[in-house]
Amino acid sequence: MAIPLQSDLQRWLDSATEAALAAGAVLQHHWGNLTSIDEKGRSGDLVTEADRGAEAAVMAVLQRHLPNEHGILAEESGAGGNPNATLLWAIDPLDGTTNYTHQYPFCAVSIGLLAEGEPVLGVIYDPIHHDLFRAATGLGATLNRRPIHVSATKQLAQSLLVTGFAYDRRETPDNNYAEFCHLTHLTQGVRRGGSAAIDLAYVACGRLDGYWERGLSPWDIAAGIALVREAGGQVTAYDGSTLEVMSGRLLATNGHIHSVMSHTLGQIKPLTLPLLDLPT
Ligand code: IPD
Ligand code: CA
Ligand code: CA
């Protein structure tokens, strides 16, 4: 993969930052005031006027700065932009919609750039805590413009991890329940943040030591992968092999606990839960 020039990455980082802040303003505006919450097909997969408004804000800024230069893959409006471009923006205007609708304050705008499928740039903005995470290959990773680095935790037993459960969890034995139980046993704890973008950003800045999840889309993870790598961490497939972003399954850590987490995930057998009868 040819890494883009640093001068181009810097310019695109600035455009993505402007887009993320504009979308963040939309999310702040609708916070606690939603009038429409719809399901997108799968039970629990929600979309609101905040998701749509934030995405429109991102598109408007990117269109102004980079008219038809790159491809675009955005959660709510799908594919667009230049279909022949080797660079693709992966955009999640609101990662953590379920949290957002409940006013549980963990959500973010996530804007990543893929070069021939490899994440090379990421901006993640949490509009509730005003945390702005930015990274691009060779330019470092920052939180609110200050350099960040992954944690120094060396042992799995001393680690704090995070994971998530995809919307298809009731339909597949590949539901992450067994992994959650085993890794809860082996660590100081496993959080379920509800925003893959924030989960990855927190690994990048050392608030968390590791993250694994499946069933994700490129817009959930493209920006966060760039952040973790640029902050000194490691991101691979569960078995430690090269990550395919489109697979939606990844292991991201501070590097020190990577092989033990990979080994642990490789040993776990699925756990299927029968649905319980609820009293009527
Ligand atoms: C979801 C969040 C969540 C993850 C889900 C994603 P959305 O994104 O990132 O943490 O577990 O798989 O779909 O739907 O809030 O944009
Ligand atoms: Ca998402
Ligand atoms: Ca979303």
Total domains in the chain come to: 2
- What is the predicted pLDDT for the residue at 115? 96
**pLDDT per residue over 3-34, tens digit each?**
889 999 999 999 999 999 999 999 999 999 98
CA-to-CA separations, 68 to 60, 65, 82, 85, in angstroms, rounded: 12, 9, 5, 9
| Domain match, 112 and 221 both | no
Please give the single-letter amino acid code of residue 273. L
Do 34 and 86 meet the contact criterion of CB atoms below 8 Å apart? no
Q: Is residue 21 part of a domain?
A: yes
CA-to-CA separations, 198 to 78, 166, 221, in angstroms, rounded: 22, 16, 10
Across all residues in the chain, what is the average pLDDT?
95
| Domain match, 205 and 82 both | no
- What is the predicted pLDDT for the residue at 190? 98
Show the tokens assigned to 4. 């883009």
Residue of minimum CA distance from atom 15 in ligand 1? 96
- Of 116, 147, 178, the last residue of a domain is 147
Q: How far is the CA of 277 from the centre of ligand 2 (A)?
A: 30
Tell me: pLDDT of 35 over 90: no
How far is it, in rounded angstroms, from Cα 136 to Cα 123? Answer: 9
- What is the predicted pLDDT for the residue at 26? 98
* Mean pLDDT confidence for 145-149: 98
Per the listing, tokens 């932009």 go with 81
| Domain match, 194 and 130 both | no
How far is it, in rounded angstroms, from Cα 62 to Cα 96? Answer: 22
Q: How far is the CA of 260 from the centre of ligand 3 (A)?
A: 31
How far is it, in rounded angstroms, from Cα 234 to Cα 158? Answer: 18
Q: How far is the CA of 166 from the centre of ligand 1 (A)?
A: 7
Q: How far is the CA of 6 from the centre of ligand 1 (A)?
A: 31
Do 250 and 237 meet the contact criterion of CB atoms below 8 Å apart? yes
| Domain match, 195 and 259 both | yes
Tell me: pLDDT of 43 over 80: no
Residues with CB under 6 A from ligand 1: 92, 95-98, 164-166, 194-196, 215-216, 220
> Based on the number of CB atoms within 10 Å of its own CB, is 20 exposed (0-12), middle (13-18) or buried (19 or more)?
buried
- Domain extent, residue 215, equals 156-267
| Domain match, 102 and 178 both | no
Q: Is residue 278 part of a domain?
A: no
- Split at pLDDT 50, 70, 90, the class of 276 is confident
How far is it, in rounded angstroms, from Cα 236 to Cα 239? Answer: 8
Residue of minimum CA distance from atom 12 in ligand 1? 166
pTM, two decimal places: 0.96
Ligand 1: which of 220, 221, 247, 249 to mutate, most ligand atoms within 8 Å of CB?
220
Do 114 and 218 meet the contact criterion of CB atoms below 8 Å apart? yes
Per the listing, tokens 């987490």 go with 261
| Domain match, 92 and 142 both | yes
Tell me: pLDDT of 1 over 80: no
Tell me: pLDDT of 42 over 80: no
| Domain match, 88 and 33 both | yes
Residue of minimum CA distance from atom 16 in ligand 1? 95
Do 65 and 20 meet the contact criterion of CB atoms below 8 Å apart? no
Q: Is residue 1 part of a domain?
A: no
Q: How far is the CA of 120 from the centre of ligand 3 (A)?
A: 21
Least confident range from 124-128, 137-141, 169-173, 236-240: namely 169-173
| Domain match, 82 and 15 both | yes
- Give the CA count within 13 Å in the CB-facing half-sphere of 213: 32
Do 138 and 83 meet the contact criterion of CB atoms below 8 Å apart? no
Q: Is residue 118 part of a domain?
A: yes
**pLDDT per residue over 161-199, tens digit each?**
999 999 988 888 899 999 999 999 999 999 999 999 999
- What is the predicted pLDDT for the residue at 274? 81
| Domain match, 134 and 167 both | no
Q: Is residue 74 part of a domain?
A: yes
Q: Is residue 272 part of a domain?
A: no
- What is the predicted pLDDT for the residue at 46? 82
| Domain match, 39 and 80 both | yes
Q: What is the CATH number of the domain that holds 43?
A: 3.30.540.10
- What is the predicted pLDDT for the residue at 220? 98
